[in-house]
Amino acid sequence: MTPAVLRTVEEVKTWAAGLRREGRRLALVPTMGYLHEGHLSLIREGRRRADVVAVSLFVNPTQFGPREDLSRYPRDFEGDLAKCGAAGADVVFAPGPEAMYPPGYQTYVEVTDVSQGLCGARRPGHFRGVATIVTQLLALFRPEVALFGEKDYQQLQVIRALNRDLHLGADIVGMPTIREPDGLAMSSRNAYLSPEERQRALSLSRGLRAALTLLQGETRDAAALTGAVRHELAAAGLREDYVELVDAERLTPLDSVAPGQTARLLVAAFSGTTRLIDNMALGG
């Protein structure tokens, strides 16, 4: 079924209040649209965990830097609507920027510790924009469950922190990264890649898998594990943005993976001009 489309904050308030009166559980899936199987896996899991599923489609201007791809970010509203319906979404919220940031808007949310390294260090203001829009969406919909992908692992930790610290009360569910058959993590930004750039982009996931294999062979040292990823990036001619081994929750740098420790290896790199990210759990 084609989902109902809501465009304004007032429409959401009225709709969500109706759900609460009926005692129905809501799952929210925030996205920037141009949906792929990764997004759809979140919608399907939302269906399993709640009575009603809402998907937001909003290319959030405050999370893009001045030299980033806001104006050319891919969009396909009609296609997204059909995919949302097929995956079981009941409602799509597709506001314009003026609905979320009307004249006089002046409130921004800053999550400190987990926003600082990794993408936070390379994209100043990015997580402030993410935290602001996700806080708005959680406050507006007040969902029982909100689903996010581990593909954006640091973002997931930022959202867990703001949901906890601001008492927003959602159950934040992190879902595994959905990949193409050849290992490439699905991303709306993969649409920017030429066939050759796409081929070379496989080095991110290949590097992460090589690191996992090293860890399984008891190589625990951060330099060796990050080195395996760097080796693959260099062989494919990709420019590294970062490769880091961190504690899986606090995202603080690790020198090595202790036995039983849950670590995360994260990579960001440019294939051509397209910045791609990927990550994997190591240990635990």
Strand pairing category for 26-31 and 52-57:
parallel
Find the binder of ligand AMP among 154, 188, 203, 271 (CB under 6 A): 188
Find the binder of ligand AMP among 15, 31, 58, 211 (CB under 6 A): 31
Q: Which is nearer to ligand AMP, 39 or 206 (CB)?
A: 39
Q: How far is the CB of 32 from ligand AMP (least distance, A)?
A: 4
Catalytic residue of the set 39, 126, 167, 231: 39
> CA dist 204 to 87, 194, 209, 261, Å?
29, 16, 9, 23
Per-position x/- string for 215-244, each x denoting binding to ligand AMP as judged by CB under 6 A, each - no binding: ------------------------------
What are the b/e assignments for 25-61, b being 16+ CB within 10 Å? ebbbbbbbbbbbebbbbbbbbbbeebebbbbbbbbbe
* 193-197 own/partner pairs: CB under 8 Å, 24+ apart: 193/271, 193/272, 193/274, 194/272, 197/271, 197/272, 197/274
Find the binder of ligand AMP among 38, 46, 95, 143 (CB under 6 A): 38
Cβ(284)–Cβ(172) under 8 Å?
no
Q: How far is the CB of 211 from ligand AMP (least distance, A)?
A: 19
Cβ(203)–Cβ(236) under 8 Å?
yes
Q: How many residues bind ligand AMP (CB under 6 A)?
A: 17
Q: Which is nearer to ligand AMP, 137 or 228 (CB)?
A: 137
Angle between the N-to-C axes of helices 77-87 and 37-49, in degrees from 0 to 180, rounded to the nearest 10: 40
Q: Does 148 bind ligand AMP (CB under 6 A)?
A: yes
User: Is 39 annotated in the active site?
Assistant: yes
Cβ(274)–Cβ(192) under 8 Å?
yes
Q: Which residue type sits at 131?
A: A
Q: Which is nearer to ligand AMP, 92 or 222 (CB)?
A: 92
The response to whether 151 counts as a known ligand-binding position is: yes
Q: Which is nearer to ligand AMP, 118 or 178 (CB)?
A: 178
Per-position x/- string for 158-187, each x denoting binding to ligand AMP as judged by CB under 6 A, each - no binding: -----------------x-xx------xxx
- Active site (catalytic) residues: 39
Question: Rule CB under 6 A: which residues touch ligand AMP?
Answer: 31-32, 38-39, 41-42, 148-149, 151-152, 175, 177-178, 185-188
